[in-house]
Amino acid sequence: MEITGKTRLIGIMGHPITHTLSPLMQNAAFTAMGLDICYVPLEVSPENLKKAFDGLRAMRFMGANITIPHKVPSATLVDRLEGAAQITGAVNTVVNDSGELIGHNTDGEGFIRALDEVISIHFPDATALLLGAGGAARSIAVAMAEKGLKKLFIVNRTRGRALELKELLHNHFPSLTIEALTSEAAGEDTVISSKIVINATSVGLGGDLKMPQVAVDRLTKDHVVCDIVYTQSQGTQFLLAARGKGATTLGGLGMLLHQGAAAIHLWTGKEPPIGVMRGALEPERTDNTADS
């Protein structure tokens, strides 16, 4: 990649940001597409998020990706929300449209596309157990609800946030049955009666060996277990445990790939080179049974 005076910038804002694989994947895509765009990691602490948004405007960034823990607060810092970001109130992609910052969310679409690569799920017959109620969890919940999901358990460390997500979903998808619980209150039945179990918390991030609080012993070969956290080894402890129980597993790299591809489409209006992007992630891609 050659950086010139004309190179346009796209950043990824997060805290921490050192674990991110997005620059590797997105820069490979821009190079393959022959675009003079450079994608850079931006470590932004929560108290500086507003200033960082002003910086994107001032320095005429072409756009940005937003990651943990900024997805929800970013929704109030853009000029306008579009699509899934409007429903979820969480932003993972910002497009700078001639000075107007537009907030989008491609996480849900990325999750569904990644899941489709591993298994076909008929959502109107399915119950899902969602661990977490942050920005990523919201996007996944909305994407599954849009597919007609029958029932959803939302299990979160903080009850208030789980209830907020329940309310949001109820307003947009009144026929979806929802139970919101704290991690302590969630019993084994939440696992037993679910087809899909998704860790959408940050537990396990950065190689942390902790597991989300859930009845792993109750997982079977009939479960599909997803972890939005991606790792550079065999997968998170949670996915390893799920695989040990015979479950079909999906690591975070598939979702990373597809949300990133959808973001490139938003920034450039062009089709992203999925194969090139997948290749850029290849050495880290061992936690995704889609490959095995």
Applying CB under 6 A, the residues found at the interface with ligand ATR are 68-69, 71-72, 90, 132-137, 156-158, 161, 201-203
Question: Which neighbouring-strand residues pair with 102?
Answer: 80, 95
* Cα-to-chain-centroid distance, residue 122: 21
Of 37 and 81, which CB lies nearer to ligand ATR in the complex structure?
A: 81
Of 78 and 133, which CB lies nearer to ligand ATR in the complex structure?
A: 133
Hey, how many other C-beta atoms are within 10 angstroms of the C-beta on 283? 10
At its nearest, how many Å lie between ligand ATR and the CB of residue 17?
Answer: 12
CB 63 within 8 A of CB 264: no
Dist CA 91 CA 222 (whole Å): 33
Peptide bond into 212 cis (omega under 30): no
Of 114 and 133, which CB lies nearer to ligand ATR in the complex structure?
A: 133
At its nearest, how many Å lie between ligand ATR and the CB of residue 208?
Answer: 9
b/e 169-183 (16+ beta carbons within 10 angstroms → b): beeebeebebbbbbb
Of 28 and 214, which CB lies nearer to ligand ATR in the complex structure?
A: 214
At its nearest, how many Å lie between ligand ATR and the CB of residue 117?
Answer: 22
Of 194 and 201, which CB lies nearer to ligand ATR in the complex structure?
A: 201
Q: Which residue is nearest to ligand ATR (CB)?
A: 134
CB 103 within 8 A of CB 232: no
At its nearest, how many Å lie between ligand ATR and the CB of residue 253?
Answer: 16
**Choosing from 50, 51, 71, 151, which is the catalytic residue?**
71
At its nearest, how many Å lie between ligand ATR and the CB of residue 141?
Answer: 11
Tokens 């060996």 sit on residue: 209
71 is catalytic: yes
The residues annotated with a catalytic role in the active site are: 71
